[in-house]
Structure 1
Amino acid sequence: MALKDTFYISHGSPTLSIDESLEARNFLQSWKKDVFPQRPSSILVISGHWDTKVPTVNVVDSVNDTIYDFYNFPKQMYQLKYPAPGAPQLARRVKELLKEAGFSRVDEDTKRGLDHGAWVPLFLMYPEADIPVCQLSVQSHQDGTYHCNMGKALAPLKDEGVLIMGSGSAVHNLRELNRHSGSVAPWALEFDNWLKDALLQGRYEDVNHYEQKAPHAKRAHPWPDHFYPLHVAIGAAGQNSKAKLIHSSIDLGSLSYASYQFTSADS
């Protein structure tokens, strides 16, 4: 079964896994009913929490470990498990496609499981944990165009029933979080709105060069690791794809949970 859509999910805080007050949690829990009822053959997650020198896939033959790559959070979060099967065939297919596209070196990691950029949203989207999952890393020393090209290389996976999902945060500056304010920081809202307008208008090249085009770009993303998964999702959908905003909320003053669906033009 071929798929026409790719996604960028803003996973925000790890507390998304337990905090029922977060709007994004309800959105992800309604995933199969309201957003994407098709069942993928496997899932490829490009997470902002796996940043490597060269593209790297996790090749897991059995069950993915659950990685608790966060600190000083409620104890119950460290007891959650997401034992999704590994997807070694998908991992090797990703490696093959990237090499064919000119990515000269693609590494494998046989020990890494799923970081919280992958398992926290999937825990809500597919709670049964019965769909094979593979992760692909980002390279934060590269740029948006590089990651868009990575996505273009991976586009054939959609025809193989693979759900391609970038996972990051549309606005991600941990130093600017405000736990005591109920209002949204103007700079964060301005960047969030710029991104929405650029994507919905199909100005993907502007998003590729967001550092020069977007207001408050460096403040919204001091490091680009949580933004580049978006570029992979865009590239995999194609430059003529149509973007749809599927969720929008901001927590802690500036942490955006804006999430997008990209539908290929030939759908």
Structure 2
Amino acid sequence: MALKETFYISHGSPTLSIDESIQARKFLQSWKNDVFPHTPSSILVISGHWDTTVPTVNVVDSVNDTIYDFYGFPKEMYQLKYPAPGAPKLARRVKELLRKSGFNRVDEDTKRGLDHGAWVPLFLMYPEADIPVCQLSVQSNQDGTYHYNLGKALAPLKDEGVLIMGSGSAVHNLRAIMPNSPVQPWALEFDNWLKEALLEGRYEDVNHYEQKAPHAKKAHPWPDHFYPLHVAIGAAGENSKAKLIHGSIELGTLSYASYQFTSATGS
């Protein structure tokens, strides 16, 4: 089954896995009913929590390990498991497509499982953990256009039934989070700019958000949680249509804005 959609999911805090008060949790739990009723052949997750100097895929022949790449959280979070099968065939297909598109060096990691940027949202979206999952890293030493082109290279995967999902946070500055605080104006301004740029199809502006967006450096002091968005856009294509599928801000500044990109016919 060919797919036309790609997605960018803001996974926010790791407590999304257990905290019923986080609005985005209910959105992800309703995924199969309200957002995406199709069953993909496999899932490719581009997570902001795997940052390498060159594109790298995890090649897991059996079950993905659940990585607890967070510290000081409630004990119950470290007991959660997401034993999704690995997707070695998809991983090798990703390598093939990237190399064909001029990404000359693509590495693989046979030991890495799923970081929380992958397993926490999938734990809510596909709780059965029965769909094969592969991860692809971001390169924070590169820019938005690079990641957009990375996505373009991966576009054929949609025709093979692969769900391409970027996972990050639309506004992500952990030093600026403010528990029990109202939404901060600068975070809302960046979040709104992003929404307008995406819904209007101004993808070039999003590729150059550092120059175009208000409070860009404050919204993303490091770009690792933003670049998965560029991959999702690139994989959908330049004429794709963006749709906001969830919007909320927690802890004063942490945006859970999530988007669907639907490819234009023939793209």
TM over 0.5: yes
**Structure 1 residue identity aligned to 2:7:** F
Query: In the aligned structure 2, how far is the partner of 1:39 from the partner of 1:155?
Result: 18
Query: In the aligned structure 1, how far is the partner of 2:100 from the partner of 2:55?
Result: 13
* Structure 1 residue 178, shift from structure 2 partner: 0.3
**Structure 2 residue identity aligned to 1:159:** D
Query: In the aligned structure 2, how far is the partner of 1:190 from the partner of 1:15?
Result: 25
1:104-152 alpha-carbon deviations (Å, 9 max, x no partner): 1000000000000000000000000000000000000100000000000
**Structure 2 residue identity aligned to 1:166:** G
Report the secondary structure of 1:261's partner residue: strand
Number of the residue aligned with 2:107:
107
Query: In the aligned structure 2, how far is the partner of 1:95 from the partner of 1:42?
Result: 16
Number of the residue aligned with 1:88:
88
Number of the residue aligned with 2:245:
246
1:154-165 pair list within 5 angstroms? 154-165=154-165
Query: In the aligned structure 2, how far is the partner of 1:184 from the partner of 1:198?
Result: 21
Number of the residue aligned with 1:57:
57
Query: In the aligned structure 2, how far is the partner of 1:217 from the partner of 1:57?
Result: 29
* Structure 1 residue 180, shift from structure 2 partner: 3.0
**Structure 1 residue identity aligned to 2:231:** V
Query: In the aligned structure 1, how far is the partner of 2:263 from the partner of 2:129?
Result: 27
Query: In the aligned structure 2, how far is the partner of 1:177 from the partner of 1:213?
Result: 23
Number of the residue aligned with 2:122:
122
Number of the residue aligned with 2:21:
21
Query: In the aligned structure 2, how far is the partner of 1:194 from the partner of 1:179?
Result: 24
Number of the residue aligned with 2:3:
3
Q: Do residues 131 (structure 1) and 125 (structure 2) align?
A: no
Report the secondary structure of 2:166's partner residue: strand
Report the secondary structure of 1:8's partner residue: strand
**Structure 2 residue identity aligned to 1:43:** I
Number of the residue aligned with 1:172:
172
Number of the residue aligned with 1:231:
230
1:6-42 alpha-carbon deviations (Å, 9 max, x no partner): 0000000000000000110000000000000000000
Query: In the aligned structure 1, how far is the partner of 2:111 from the partner of 2:60?
Result: 7
| Uncovered stretches (5+) of structure 1, i.e. residues with no partner | none
Number of the residue aligned with 1:74:
74
**Structure 2 residue identity aligned to 1:225:** D
Question: Normalising to structure 2: TM-score of the pair?
Answer: 0.99
Number of the residue aligned with 2:257:
258
Number of the residue aligned with 2:98:
98
**Structure 2 residue identity aligned to 1:193:** N
**Structure 2 residue identity aligned to 1:192:** D
Number of the residue aligned with 2:203:
204
Report the secondary structure of 1:66's partner residue: coil
Query: In the aligned structure 2, how far is the partner of 1:207 from the partner of 1:15?
Result: 28
**Structure 1 residue identity aligned to 2:105:** R
Report the secondary structure of 1:9's partner residue: strand
Query: In the aligned structure 2, how far is the partner of 1:141 from the partner of 1:167?
Result: 18
Number of the residue aligned with 1:185:
184
**Structure 2 residue identity aligned to 1:188:** A
**Structure 2 residue identity aligned to 1:20:** E
Q: How many residues align?
A: 266
CA RMSD of aligned residues (A): 0.5
Query: In the aligned structure 2, how far is the partner of 1:106 from the partner of 1:141?
Result: 15
Number of the residue aligned with 1:147:
147
Question: Normalising to structure 1: TM-score of the pair?
Answer: 0.99
Give every structure 1 segment of 4 or more consecutive aligned residues whose post-TM-superposition deviation is greater than 6 Å.
none
Query: In the aligned structure 2, how far is the partner of 1:180 from the partner of 1:190?
Result: 20
Query: In the aligned structure 2, how far is the partner of 1:177 from the partner of 1:214?
Result: 20
